[in-house]
Structure 1
Amino acid sequence: MWQKKEIPMEEWSIRQLQEMMSSGTMRAQEIVQFYLDRIQQIDQDSPSLNSVLAINPEALAIAESLDAERQANGPRSALHGIPILLKDNIESVDPLPTTAGSLALAQNFAVQDSFVAERLRAAGAIILGKTNLSEWANFRSSRSSSGWSSAGGQVRNPYALDRNPCGSSSGSGVAVAANLCAAAIGTETDGSIVCPSHANGIVGVKPTVGLIGRSGIVPISHSQDTAGPMARTVWDAAVLLGTLTGTDPRDPATAASSRHSHTDYTQFLDKDGLKGARIGVSRNFFGHNPYVDAVIEKAIETMRQQGTIVIDPANIETKGQFNDSEFEVLLYEFKHDLNAYLATTPDTVPQRTLADLIAFNQANFETILPYFGQELFEAAQAKGELSDEAYREALANNHRLARDEGIDATLKAHQLDAIVAPTGGPAWLTDWVNGDNYGGASSSPAAVSGYPNITVPAGYVFGLPVGISFIGGAWQEPTLLRLAYAFEQATQVRQPPQFLPSLNL
């Protein structure tokens, strides 16, 4: 019989956990139990972060089986026995519903793993549970509070509990930052991986659309949606990314990735990876907050000291020019894609269309619409089919401005390996009356183009985390990970949260 060991596990990486299991110092059962205890103590009790929506009741049994398998045959992969949390718009066949944060999907129990869950399970990872999120991945109202859902309530930022965690992968970001799991999976349409990673002081990877299969994920937009890893270190994020790649038979967008994907992205990590790299600074994302700008200036100077050739400025000149067409595309695709998804849900989910959801929300106004409405739902419902000329023109406009005349043009003009910019502003006070106050963000060009974007902790403003984004061309994850890892190793700025009730200013 093994006995539980009192070993501090805060901030331990996937690599450290794996080494301890391989040496026999720890078992997966112990690791799972540690995280379960910590979720109870920190997430559910005081300070009540509210980031974990549901725990997998089979997690300990799965860990026991994986421990036995390790002893008999060795580990399957670098994720063998590692507890991972999934954002609750990602399906798994564990006895957990996939709610997208909505009470309408409270009985949405999957009969098949999502591609993401399937890949994690095959690697020997343990799906520890599901994380809270902004309801419907923050595509219900323009006045929403990120991190709030009718299924789970409000997620709180662990650095200052009255601050917002950013959305929509808010629960995943907070859970990783607060050491409630080894790592987590988020999803992004525009900013929903990189913003909560930045606001909670962790690494977030928004990959090229098509690198990771989207089957079994509650959708917003097939032209912009992607899952991605959220972790405390670049190495951990790279391990997760390699596990999640591959061709998904249920997602045609992944067909193109077969020539560009890798199963091991740790091979590209190099602590000297900034030396000789050409990195451009997109200055037109600065100017929202002088404290944030100062943090990023220091980060740029660090890159210079590491031998980086900094081209400054190297603006993405089309910034802001595709905002209207992006919104148009999202409305059209949300209606089409969500209706297609709802048609696949079990009979226990009576809402089969977006129109049904609008009616359900209105009928349950006090629990679902107490703070903000569903005007985005209603605007999407008013749209026509994907054959409409308005949709096709908007999508073409997006790709021209964000790709050809945007990121691609900037990279080519300056012969860049990557573009950097502040990921966003400091976390704002959560406000159910007025909604979110982002204070600047650089996610849209990569989101609309479908290109990769990696955010890494760069520093702090009055104790609130600030991230720097590394943005590249299609399938350039190896380059971006190399640069992000070298920056992380040169700076080592991440500090664990202190769960302050409010900032001490």
Structure 2
Amino acid sequence: MRAFGIGFLLAAALPAGAHARTVVVEERSIDELQALMTAKQATSVDLVTAYLNRIAAMDRKGPTLRSIIAINPDALAQARQLDAERKAGRVRGPLHGIPVLIKDNVETADPIATTAGSLALRDNVTRRDAPVVAALRAQGAVILGKTNLSEWANIRSSHSMSGWSAVGGLVRNPYALDRTACGSSSGSGAAVAASFAAAAVGTETDGSVVCPSSINGLVGLKPSIGLVSRTRVVPISHSQDTPGPMARSVRDVATMLSAMSAADPADPTTAGATARDYAAGLSTSALSGLKIGVIRPEMTADLAARYDAALAVLRAGGAVLVEVERPKLEGLGEAEFTVLKTELKADMNAYLATTPAAVKTRTLDDVIAFNKANAATEMPYFAQETFEDAARTKGLDDPSYKAARAKSLRLAGVEGIDAMLKTAGAQLLVEPTYGGAWLSDPVYGDQYGGPSSSELPAIAGYPNLTVPMGLVDGLPVGLSFIATKNADATVLGAGYAYEQRARARTAPRYLPTADAGPGLEGAR
């Protein structure tokens, strides 16, 4: 895997005698960075250099977030080209010159591997862009590098430790370093929270955008299936996989989605995707008269209080809130897992067959064998029983798979989200995205038993937007806005209006553990 240190990058990419201006990029939005470049107070090279300096100071030293797997050695050259275009009067769009990060299961044409966090793919230097990356480049985004992730997007084992990969190590949460960054887009979440880039691309099959976004104090959108291409993304499930944007504000997420959404002939689900400016329609009045169904899962008293405060903000914005119960959907989880395992085998085999000859793992069975042969590095904390179960599935023509997909789609969509919307007469639903981050635990793996908003929209293919609703015991929690398929503009509009009223996001402080108040110190 080709990747270079940051010192090498700066020395090699800046012209002789040239010096990047010092620019403060921490907590700055895409619009703010674009304004700096428009006013000639900064260049794209300045921005890239500033982000690289933050990464150098904080990712493998300082708080040691381990959110970045590889820096793109061509990032500064890309920035110089975009600066030259700007000087010549060409600005491609709102992302022109803006550095973004890409989760390391999404291919880029840069000279770096796409590993999905696994040493089995350390030679997977494809030199091809996934269409979602090509779309971002076309709008002028600079591909700064690749982010760490839960290995194989967290599908290898049900006993995994989210945020860990053999290539990148364990991602740490910038709000409390002993806590999980969640996954599988853990690196994207931690990196954007730490202002290592303006925004990032994550991917979700079930929770992998909204969980790390919520737990790292970000806005994240799991788009409707069919808005964003999945081609050249290391797959789990063609029924549920999708890339999604992650940023520090709803407007930045909307700007990213506008660039990412496009039809791709190689991904038939995107046939109806059209160019749309999702940021242009954002309005602080979007909540006025909007009927919202309120789901109340089991949660701690502190989280419930934070949720009630968020609901009060929605109500103050003019929303009409209607309580709705989540229906009992017996067998949904089992049906989803059958779908994921069956599609994992078929889709992974199809993807691996397209990788360069240097990649020796050409099938899921090959990956399983590789992990066994390299157990000390690949399986020091958890095994691969889900991979092994997937390898025993009988293919996409198996009647039991087809029945499971039909059942899961019906339960999550028609009898789940759609039924709740109909009962409430609502345009969207809200609920807590997740609770606060749990401790990272290499012995017992993920230990979380709180609420989760991800399952129904992930299975149904509907949008799920999480927006920060504040801190609980010093840890971020998010509010999910969920609607029916292709109502992405609706959730973005409501999320933006809520965000602008609530102003609930707090920047991270890189504390060693959660700040739960002075009670831990005792009276003495």
CA distance in 2, matches of 1:493, 1:148: 29
Could you say which residue in structure 2 is the equivalent of 1:426?
436
Choose which of 288, 298, 320 in structure 2 pairs with 1:275: 288
- Please say if residues 113 and 216 of structure 1, whose CA atoms lie closer than 8 Å, have aligned partners that are also in contact: yes
Q: Aligned pair 1:484/2:495, yes or no?
A: yes
Matched position secondary structure for 2:326: coil
Asked whether the equivalents of residues 134 and 168 of structure 1 are also in contact (C-alpha less than 8 Å), the reply is yes
Contact 1:133 1:149 in 2 (8 A): yes
Q: Which residue of 1 aligns with 2:327?
A: 317
Shift of 1:459: 1.1
Structure 1 residue matching 2:232: 3-state secondary structure: coil
| SS across alignment from 1:73 | coil
Q: Deviations over 1:463-497 (max 9, x none)?
A: 10000000000000111110000000001111110
Q: Secondary structure at the match of 1:127?
A: strand
Q: Is the 8 A contact 1:318 1:405 kept in 2?
A: no
Matched position secondary structure for 2:146: strand
Is the aligned partner of 1:223 residue 2:234? Answer: no
Counterpart for residue 264 of structure 1 = 277
Contact 1:268/1:481, CA 8 A, preserved across alignment? no
TM-score (norm 2): 0.94
Number of equivalenced pairs: 499
Q: 169-178 or 293-302: which moved more? A: 293-302
What's the TM-score, normalizing by structure 1?
Answer: 0.97
Determine the C-alpha separation between the residues in 2 that align with 1:459 and 1:449. 28
CA distance in 1, matches of 2:22, 2:129: 35
* C-alpha separation in 2, matches of 1:338 and 1:316: 34
**1:21 aligned to 2:37?**
yes
Check conservation: 1:318, 1:402, Cα contact below 8 A. Answer: no
Alpha-carbon distance in 1 for matches of 2:329, 2:481: 16
Aligned partner of 2:77 among 42, 61, 64: 61
Q: Does 1:448 align with 2:464?
A: no
Secondary structure of 1:266 counterpart: coil
**2: CA distance, partners of 1:290 / 1:400:** 33
Corresponding residue of 2:255: 239
2:304 to 293, 296, 301: 293
Native 8 Å contact 2:24 2:50 kept in 1? no
Are 1:71 and 2:87 an aligned pair? yes
2:478 corresponds to: 467
State the identity as a percent. 51
2:88 is paired with a residue whose SS is: helix
Give yes or no for contact 1:159–1:500 (8 Å, CA) kept in 2: yes
The answer for the alignment partner of 2:205 in structure 1 is 189
* Residue 334 (structure 1) aligns with: 344
Q: Which residue of 1 aligns with 2:108?
A: 92
Post-superposition offset of 1:412: 2.0
- Following superposition of structure 1 onto structure 2, how do residues 102-251 of structure 1 map, counting pairs within 5 Å? 102-251=118-267
Q: Which amino acid aligns with 2:455?
A: S
Distance (Å, rounded) in 2 between the aligned partners of 1:267 and 1:227: 22
Contact preservation (8 Å) 2:470, 2:505: yes
Which AA in structure 1 matches 2:96? H
CA distance in 2, matches of 1:344, 1:318: 42
Which residue identity lines up with residue 277 of structure 1 in the other structure?
L
Q: How do residues 351-500 of structure 1 correspond to structure 2 at under 5 angstroms?
A: 351-438=361-448, 439-500=450-511
Structure 1 spans left out of the alignment, 5+ residues: none
Residue deviations 1:143-179, cap 9 Å, x none? 1000000111000000000000000000000001000
Equivalent of 1:9 in 16, 25, 32: 25
CA deviation map 1:185-209 (0-9, x unaligned): 0000000000000000000000001
Aligned to 1:378, the other structure's residue is in SS state: helix
Instruction: Give CA-to-partner distance per residue, 1:93-137, whole Å, 9 cap, x none.
Output: 101100000000000011321011110111110000000000000
CA contact (8 A) 2:22 2:50 kept: no
Q: Secondary structure at the match of 2:407?
A: helix
Q: Distance in 2 between matches of 1:447 and 1:130?
A: 24
